[in-house]
Amino acid sequence: MTAHIQKVENQVIDRNEKFISTAENLKPEFVKDTVTPTNIVKIEENSAKIHGWEPKVIESADNLSSYDYGKGDEVILDFGTHLVGYLSMNIIPVGSPPDAPLHLKVTFGEMPVEMAVPFSEYNGWISSSWLQEETLHIDVMPGILELPRRYSFRYVKIEVLDTSKKYRVAFENLQCETVTSADVNRVTEIHQFDPVLDQIDKVSIKTLQDCMQEVFEDGPKRDRRLWLGDLRLQALANYETFQTNDLVKRCLYLFAGVPDNKGRISANLFIAPSLIPDDTYLFDYSLLFTTTLFDYYEATKDTNTLAELWPLAYRQVELALERLDDKGIVIDDESWWSFIDWHEDLNKQAPSQAILIYTIRRTIELAKVMNSDKQLFLEEQLQRIVKATITHLWDNDKGFFVSGAKHQVSWASQIWMAHAEVLEPDANRKLILHLLSEKPDIGLTTPYMYHYLVEALILVGEKKKAVAQLKAYWGEMIKDGADTFWELYDPDNKDFSPYGSYLINSYCHAWSCTPTYLIRKYQL
């Protein structure tokens, strides 16, 4: 197993203040709303449900304030759908004047399991601090409790750890002020005659909406930051829905504002307290900066932005070319050098090679718009690398592209090679059909890669199969209770998490929002 962590010693950042201030000026307006819970629920064990838990309605949440609670009592509220925002409530003492502080625990969950399994059971490799719970002391009652942190949730559990023997508490006006930078009024209605696709479209849009904050976040529960692989897909979904194109522009400028001293673009950014690039650089994600700029230009024809960001976009390709060996194949290694997907045993070489080719094709198009003298060089490189790929990574007997020293055959390699259009259209179609019939063991684990599978099916002219796949995957997630689409989903292993526990998975995740793009763009 490879480690999924990078720590760069002596990272030197080449800050471009002009780009950073362009990004600052594009800070979005927020759309706010006040939402109240629908029901008081209990969470019951049911092995037929995802993670083994399901919510059962006890009564309407309108009755909440008629109850009072003492030491050891708890109440779980269901808001009926996924929300991102700030929780507040009035706390009313009942009985004698409060002669001791109230000790309260508040737990937020996107999924029923987060209400049922104590977070103390989590022992995965990423920080437990992502699990959304607070313990607080309240000295003054009656009063309003306004939690300062933004949460991502559908369920809230309130546990009274202690009051005193003389008083109990009641909760009134419990509500969430939701926040997003997406304006739903900008989304056009589509007349989808297929109810399953219609529902998938709606859940995709809600997913994107909840991830749209000051930047396109990957997940409002976790990691709450801007990742390039996620941004690329969010931006595509955005062009077909909210059309908040300035937010894409802002994110591109943020990345461009903090490359390292070699010109490498970081895989993700922190934006507070000020803009900081993470010390994680991924081969595929850096190239997706260039691809995202290409898509942005296609959607907006914003030549000024293209002209300003072109040198860095080109630089990502140049840097990727430096990783080729003498044969023209990307050098593989054991570290977390390229992301591709979360499959534990996935070899990254062939899919990374394909992403390089895919990106060069788009960079050539940008070079043409820019009238750049790099165009010829890029065309020569493309020819050389495509040839090398066929010679060294194509296995004619297997009918598949192979990856790494052990010649691994994975779904991800074939899918990305199809997008890279290394084979002629007919052979490309055969490759994808062969993939569907052979079903190699190294499968896909994220909606991120399923997106590229569905789009590859469309690319090779298999629209019907694309729709079937879309329904089988995202439709199944809805059947499993998704209000917003999840970060991880393996229909054959619904407990899957690369982090050591599904408690920490994100259940509203940017890279899962693309069905709306696929449905609308390709008129599925």
Q: What are the residues binding ligand RAM (CB under 6 A)?
A: 218, 223, 227, 229-230, 339, 487, 511
Task: List beta partners, residue 74.
Answer: 159
Instruction: Measure CA of the first residue to CA of the last residue in the chain; give whole Å.
Output: 38
| Shortest distance in whole angstroms from residue 470 CB to ligand RAM | 20
Question: Do residues 524 and 518 touch, judged by C-beta distance below 8 A?
Answer: yes
- Report how many helices (DSSP H) and strands (DSSP E) the chain contains, helices first: 15, 14
Q: Which is nearer to ligand RAM, 116 or 235 (CB)?
A: 235
Which of residues 130 and 310 has its CB atom nearest to ligand RAM in the complex?
Answer: 130
108-142: buried (b, 16+ CB within 10 Å) or exposed (e) per residue? bbbbbbbbbbebeebebebeeebbbbeeeeeeebe
CB of 226 to ligand RAM, least distance (A): 10
Least Å from the CB of residue 61 to ligand RAM: 32
Q: Are 43 and 76 in contact (CB under 8 A)?
A: yes
C-alpha torsion 380→384→387→393, nearest 10: -140
| CB-nearer residue toward ligand RAM: 222 or 419 | 222
What's the min distance (Å) between Cβ of 337 and ligand RAM?
Answer: 12
- Please, which residue, 284 or 332, has the CB nearer to ligand RAM? 284
401's enclosing H/E stretch is strand 400-401
Q: What distances in angstroms separate CA 328 from CA 56, 388, 390, 407, one per listed residue? A: 58, 6, 11, 17
Please state the closest distance from residue 350 (CB atom) to ligand RAM, in A.
19
Judged by beta carbon, residue 55 or residue 447, the one nearer ligand RAM is: 447
Give the whole-angstrom CA distance, residue 356 versus residue 287.
7
Nearest-approach distance from CB 214 to ligand RAM, in angstroms: 17
Q: Rounded distance, CA 140 to CA 233, Å?
A: 47
Q: What share of the chain is helix, strand, coil (3-state, %, to 5)?
A: 40, 20, 40
The nearer residue to ligand RAM, 126 or 161, going by C-beta atoms, is 126
In the complex with ligand RAM, the residue whose CB is nearer, 218 or 332, is 218
Residue 392 or 494 having the CB closest to ligand RAM = 494
- Give least dist CB 227 to ligand RAM, A: 4
Full 3-state SS string of 78-101: EEEEEEEEEEEEEEEEEECCCCCC
- Residue 511 CB, nearest approach to ligand RAM (Å): 6
Which residue is it, tokens 């899962």?
A: 512
What is the closest distance, in whole angstroms, from the C-beta atom of residue 123 to ligand RAM in the complex? 18
Cis peptide before 273 (omega within 30 of 0): yes
Amino acid letter at 36?
Answer: T
Residue 229 or residue 259: which is nearer to ligand RAM going by CB?
Answer: 229
Q: What are the C-alpha distances in Å from 222 to residues 126, 152, 189, 307?
A: 11, 9, 30, 34
To ligand RAM, the closest distance from the beta carbon of 283 in angstroms equals 12
Q: Which is nearer to ligand RAM, 338 or 469 (CB)?
A: 338
